[in-house]
């Protein structure tokens, strides 16, 4: 019933629970979920107010109701969860039995690997435990205010594998149109739609005006219903309390444009009340507007999406032990860092997708594939192509891959399609179809027919042809010279008549013949002209990459030859990079290669003194990392990885220092009293330590008296205060006042999702920083 209504009706969610609880006496630092047991009448009343205002959904008071966040609540999270559902059911039964109860699941509260220590499986189990308790008493699961795409994936799988409930997902984006961990709206849509959610969208962090460009992108690419739940504008401070400036009338007016663009579900987040929901109900139509959306083919990592739009996409072929003694030995000896180094080299050389194959007799291919994928996700942003002949390996790799993978491959054999297509359907990948069944057909028509059969079979698994790329298979000119032309003919037929994208392993053509690079680049040119979209090649082969650059210019893909000029003018530098089999300390830090950094730093200390290494290599590398982060070339996981790598280098270098030289400055940091969120503070700490600052971390929920005591004890050069909750900004202000009361002379900077530069000034802070790199720049300027 609900899934049918999503196709046509405009549905309304409730507004903020926290804002309403504050009106009912929720104190700073109190855990809202405890009200489910201690003040159930208040929770029931809030639900009833939203239902009477016209909400179709009420959201359970369970945003943080997981075993980690509820550890200090005094209650078992299970009991709080059950009480919350019972409160929602009571309100629904008394006001509108046709309303839907949404189980609210917010972020777990810890960063997932590789940025943090929480594993994917641990995140899955936490969310699955919530689902198993609630699944028979709720109508839908809402994963909301999410910042980490990996946690989202764990949550979706936990819902789908433990219930038949519809699942909605909303992420929260910052003003740079990325989540905290660096996911952009397109990547969010591509990955989450592939996992078969029932609705997706945005909530929190920004107001309806500021969310416009983010929602515009989501609507452009999403084919499932879209949810928008903004805050009531950007937060401000009024009489010492954080508040939201928009009136209900202004909010409803701003939401009108979203309806006209085709949003299907609306509601409110921080600062919105039943008055806002009543306004939506009264002013908005009962049905959603239809919207047109063009089908697209795309693969994603957690931070980057590659769309097949007619341009040539380069897939790097070198993460494969076949014919590579070095990689074979690395796999056998479990030295997986060799794969990471090779991946970095290919990314630097211009690859846009990386093929990952670990097939080797005598190893546990499933285990090794998962380990290598996790390692690669730490340091490269490129989408990965999972390459194996084993369905078990492909399934496990898809499960732990953070993104929408390219899956290599399926073929025309019935048993192979029946093994692979369910994996593609479940995890939302793009699959490569090989035009073979009992061997490779000699003629183009036969390969075309196999491609057609693969596409038709995929339909029975609800896999659209946009998620299929056909490989017409490259034959060797040394053994099957005549059939090389058949491959090219098949390529053209598949591209033009079936309207799907194509791929080939280009270098296969030259096996057994001299001067292979000449044959490879000549065949590549012919294949591109025949309709090849995804050449699987060695991106370290400069001539092959030059051929693609030239082809892009001559076919008007590279307009005004912008990329050609850029690439060719840097060719000497690129050649030097590609020719090197080892990474410099600069590259190791930039790419966050922790396994190599200590040995390389010790090696440099043999020829350079410590300060030369710091000033000529470490600091320039960190500055490059900071620049890449600020320009969206890398994202939070890579930033943290580089920071952790730098800390290891500093440990080696600092061992040669006297005590007085060991640190730039000492800074004191904490999350203020009443706030148990410390992810942001922990990120800043890691980055500052990578720059050589000594950070004294007081932790979270820190009383102002403890901050004053620590200031007097450690005499820091700067103090950083963090708050994520609107209710704890007042405690931040009190902490600043307490510090100034003891004549604190060092600068105080503040940060957190609810803060702005205006609020920082109002509460008496000296500076405001919006993220970790801003904190680095500030301290570099003032200390």
Query: Alpha-carbon Rg of the chain, whole angstroms?
Result: 28
Q: Give the pairing of strands 767-768 and 748-751.
A: parallel
3-state secondary structure of 202: strand
Residue 479, exposed/middle/buried by CB under 10 A (0-12, 13-18, 19+)? exposed
Question: To 10 degrees, what angle do helices 274-283 and 40-53 make?
Answer: 20
In whole angstroms, give the CA distance from residue 773 to residue 751.
12
Q: Give the pairing of strands 241-243 and 236-238.
A: antiparallel
Chain centre distance of CA 713? 40
- For residue 351, report the phi and psi dihedrals to the nearest 5 degrees: -65, 145
3-state secondary structure of 734: helix
769 is in an annotated binding site: no
End-to-end CA gap in the chain: 61
Q: Which residues of 712-724 are buried (b: 16+ CB within 10 A; e: fewer)?
A: eeeebbbbbbbbb
Helix or strand holding residue 351 (H, E): none
3-state secondary structure of 226: strand
**Strand ranges (DSSP E) for 646-764?**
666-671, 694-697, 718-722, 748-751
744 is in an annotated binding site: no
In whole angstroms, give the CA distance from residue 178 to residue 624.
20
Other CB atoms within 10 A of residue 426 CB: 18
In whole angstroms, give the CA distance from residue 622 to residue 397.
32
Q: Confirm if 67 and 129 have CB atoms less than 8 A apart.
A: yes
**Strand ranges (DSSP E) for 384-482?**
384-387, 406-411, 430-434, 468-471
In whole angstroms, give the CA distance from residue 650 to residue 689.
9
Helix or strand holding residue 217 (H, E): helix 212-221
* SS3 sequence of 509-559: HHCCCCCHHHHHHHHHHHHHHHCCCEEEECCCCHHHHHHHHHHHHHCCCCH
C-alpha pair distances (Å), 399 with each of 167, 299, 516: 18, 15, 38
78 is in an annotated binding site: no
Sheet containing 694-697: give its strands across.
694-697, 666-671, 718-722, 748-751, 767-768
Q: Give the pairing of strands 226-229 and 199-203.
A: parallel
Q: Confirm if 414 and 180 have CB atoms less than 8 A apart.
A: no
In whole angstroms, give the CA distance from residue 559 to residue 565.
11
In whole angstroms, give the CA distance from residue 603 to residue 674.
47
* Tokens matching residue 366: 């499933």
What is the torsional sign of CA 645, 747, 728, 174?
negative
- For residue 254, report the phi and psi dihedrals to the nearest 5 degrees: -65, -30
In whole angstroms, give the CA distance from residue 740 to residue 748.
10
Q: What residues contact 281, with CB distance under 8 A and at least 6 apart? A: 12, 53, 54, 55
Reported as half-sphere exposure (CB side, CA atoms, 13 A), residue 751 has a value of 22
- Known binding-site residues for Zn(2+) equal 204, 269-270
Q: Which residues are annotated as a binding site?
A: 204, 269-270
């Amino acid at each position: 019933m609900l899934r049918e209504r999503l196709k046509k009706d405009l549905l309304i969610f409730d507004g903020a629970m926290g804002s309403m609880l504050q009106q009912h006496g929720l104190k700073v630092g109190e855990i809202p979920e405890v009200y489910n047991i201690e003040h159930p009448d208040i929770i029931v009343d809030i639900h009833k107010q939203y239902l009477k205002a016209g909400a179709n959904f009420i959201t359970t008071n369970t945003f943080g109701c997981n075993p980690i966040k509820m550890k200090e609540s005094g209650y078992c999270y299970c009991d709080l969860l059950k009480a919350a559902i019972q409160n929602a059911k009571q309100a629904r039964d008394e006001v509108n039995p046709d309303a839907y109860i949404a189980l609210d699941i917010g972020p777990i509260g810890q960063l997932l690997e590789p940025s943090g220590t929480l594993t994917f499986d641990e995140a899955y189990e936490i969310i699955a435990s919530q689902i198993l308790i609630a699944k028979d008493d709720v109508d839908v699961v809402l994963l909301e205010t999410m910042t980490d795409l990996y946690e989202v994936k764990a949550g979706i799988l936990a819902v789908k594998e433990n219930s038949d409930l519809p699942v909605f997902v909303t992420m929260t984006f910052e003003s740079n149109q990325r989540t905290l961990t660096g996911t952009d709206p397109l990547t969010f849509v591509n990955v989450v739609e592939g996992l078969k959610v029932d609705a997706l969208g945005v909530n929190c962090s920004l107001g309806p005006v500021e969310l416009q460009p983010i929602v515009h992108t989501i609507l452009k690419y999403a084919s499932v219903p879209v949810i928008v739940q903004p805050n009531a504008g950007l937060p401000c401070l009024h009489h010492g309390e954080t508040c939201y400036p928009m009136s209900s009338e202004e909010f409803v007016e701003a939401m009108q444009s979203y309806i006209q663009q085709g949003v299907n579900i609306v509601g409110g987040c921080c600062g919105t009340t039943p008055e806002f929901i009543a306004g939506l109900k009264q002013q908005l139509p009962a049905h959603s507007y239809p919207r047109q959306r063009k089908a697209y083919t795309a693969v994603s990592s957690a931070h980057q999406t590659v769309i097949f739009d007619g341009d040539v996409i380069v897939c790097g072929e070198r993460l494969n032990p076949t014919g590579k003694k070095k990689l074979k030995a690395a796999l056998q000896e479990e030295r997986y860092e060799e794969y990471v180094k090779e991946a970095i080299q290919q990314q630097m050389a211009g690859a846009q997708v990386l093929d990952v194959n670990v097939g080797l007799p005598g190893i546990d291919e499933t285990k090794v594939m998962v380990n290598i994928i996790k390692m690669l996700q730490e340091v490269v942003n490129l989408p990965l192509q999972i390459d194996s002949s084993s369905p078990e390996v492909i399934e496990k790799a898809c499960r732990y891959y953070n993104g929408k993978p390219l899956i290599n491959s399926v073929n025309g054999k019935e048993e192979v399609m029946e093994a692979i297509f369910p994996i593609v359907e479940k995890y939302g990948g793009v699959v490569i179809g090989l035009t073979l069944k009992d061997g490779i057909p000699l003629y183009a028509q036969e390969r075309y027919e196999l491609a057609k059969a693969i596409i038709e079979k995929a339909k029975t698994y609800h896999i659209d042809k946009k998620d299929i790329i056909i490989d017409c298979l490259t034959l060797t000119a040394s053994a099957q010279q005549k059939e090389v032309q058949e491959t090219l003919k098949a390529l053209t037929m598949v591209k033009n008549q079936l309207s799907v994208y194509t791929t080939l392993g280009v270098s296969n053509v030259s096996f057994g013949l001299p001067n292979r690079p000449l044959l490879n680049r000549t065949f590549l040119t012919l294949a591109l002209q025949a309709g090849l979209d995804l050449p699987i090649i060695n991106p370290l082969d400069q001539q092959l990459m030059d051929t693609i650059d030239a082809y892009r210019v001559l076919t008007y893909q590279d307009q005004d030859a912008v990329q050609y000029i850029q690439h060719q003018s840097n060719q000497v530098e690129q050649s030097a990079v590609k020719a090197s089999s080892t990474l410099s300390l600069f590259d190791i830090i930039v790419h966050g290669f922790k396994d190599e950094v200590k040995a390389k730093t010790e090696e440099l200390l043999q020829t350079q003194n410590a300060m030369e290494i710091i000033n000529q290599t470490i600091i320039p590398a960190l500055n490059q990392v900071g620049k890449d982060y600020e320009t969206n070339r890398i994202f939070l996981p890579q930033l943290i990885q580089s920071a952790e790598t730098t800390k290891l280098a500093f440990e080696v270098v600092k061992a040669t220092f006297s005590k007085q030289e060991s640190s730039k400055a000492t800074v004191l940091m904490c999350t203020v009293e009443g706030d148990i969120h410390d992810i942001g503070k922990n990120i800043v700490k890691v980055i500052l330590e990578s720059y050589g600052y000594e950070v004294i971390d007081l932790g979270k929920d820190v009383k102002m008296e403890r901050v004053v005591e620590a200031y007097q004890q450690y005499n820091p050069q700067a103090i950083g205060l963090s708050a994520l909750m609107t209710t704890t900004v007042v405690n931040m202000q009190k902490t600043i006042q307490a510090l100034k009361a003891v004549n604190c002379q060092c600068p105080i900077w503040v940060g957190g999702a609810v803060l702005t530069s205006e609020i920082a000034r109002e509460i008496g802070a000296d500076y405001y920083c919006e993220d970790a790199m801003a904190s680095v720049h500030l301290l570099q300027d003032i200390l």
